Structure 1
Amino acid sequence: MKKIISTDNAPSAIGTYSQAILANDFLFISGQIPLDPEKMELVEGIDNQIRMVFKNIKEILKEANMSYSNIIKLTILLDNLENFEKVNEIMGQLFDKPYPARAAYEVAKLPKNSSIEIETIAYQGSE
């Protein structure tokens, strides 16, 4: 079973993709950049950008009746890997152990010149 997951509480798609797809018990959330969903503009400052991305992910998870605890994998793209420590710090405030699996990469450029993009996989099945 495949179902499109979409919410007005996270940025609408800015291209040919869905916010998220629920496939059986797995939720695949498209890469989220730090857009304010009301204005569809980037928030400023790396801390605010990281928090906005996680807020947008949280809203999409909520639409699928999930939370951060359902996340099993994050792929984090940064325009400067030196900001990875800030990602760790903020994740430590938002996530409980056990933490999800994760990969992080520095890339040359991200959509709309954002500093961060996070792609998410979550699981809603029983443990």
Structure 2
Amino acid sequence: MKKIISSDKAPKAIGPYSQAVRSGGLVFFSGQLGINPETGKLAEGGVKAQAEQALKNIRAILEEAGAGVENVVKTTVFITKMDDFQEVNAAYSAVFSGDFPARSCVAVHQLPLNALVEIEIIVAL
């Protein structure tokens, strides 16, 4: 049985998907862009600012799911330029430390809203 998880502290979905879905002991998060939920716009200041906002959005949904960053077992990071890898790592390392979750990072041609970064996670409860 699945349960839809959503938070008003994170941006609403910009398409036909849920912010997160719980199935058994796992929670699957849709990719989060660096959208400020108060303005509905991408964070200004480049890829690091967008990554920081995407991670804030993730933390808000984690809270709604009754979890924290320590429950994250896998992340996938999508960036539009591999040159941005270090800046995204700086934002990522400020949230995840110590026992890092498994991670993939993929450079893609384009993201929704012309975002520079998108981050999705899987959580084990």
TM value normalised by structure 2: 0.95
Which residue does the alignment assign to 2:22? 22
User: What's the TM-score, normalizing by structure 1?
Assistant: 0.94
Q: Is the CA contact 1:78–1:104 (under 8 Å) kept in the aligned structure 2?
A: yes
The 3-state SS of whatever aligns with 1:41 is coil
Q: Partners in 1 of 2:52 and 2:95 — Cα distance?
A: 9
Q: CA deviation at 1:86?
A: 1.4
Q: Distance in 1 between matches of 2:89 and 2:121?
A: 16
Distance in 1, matches of 2:48 and 2:88, equals 8
CA distance in 2, matches of 1:83, 1:108: 13
Task: Establish whether residue 61 from structure 1 lines up as the match of residue 62 from structure 2.
Answer: yes
Q: Give structure 1 regions of 4+ aligned residues with deviation exceeding 3 angstroms.
A: none
Q: Deviations over 1:84-108 (max 9, x none)?
A: 1112222222112210000011111
Question: Identity, % of aligned pairs?
Answer: 41
Q: More deviation in 89-98 or 22-31?
A: 89-98
Runs of at least 5 residues in structure 1 that lack an aligned partner in the other structure: none
Structure-1 separation of matches of 2:94 and 2:66:
21
CA deviation map 1:8-41 (0-9, x unaligned)? 1001011010000011110100011011111111
Q: Give 5+ residue unaligned stretches, structure 2.
A: none
RMSD: 0.8
Once the two structures are superposed, what CA deviation does each residue of 1:59-114 show, in whole Å capped at 9, x if it has no partner? 00000010111100111100111111112222222112210000011111000000
CA distance in 2 between partners of 1:65 and 1:96 (Å)? 20
Structure 2 match to 1:108: 109
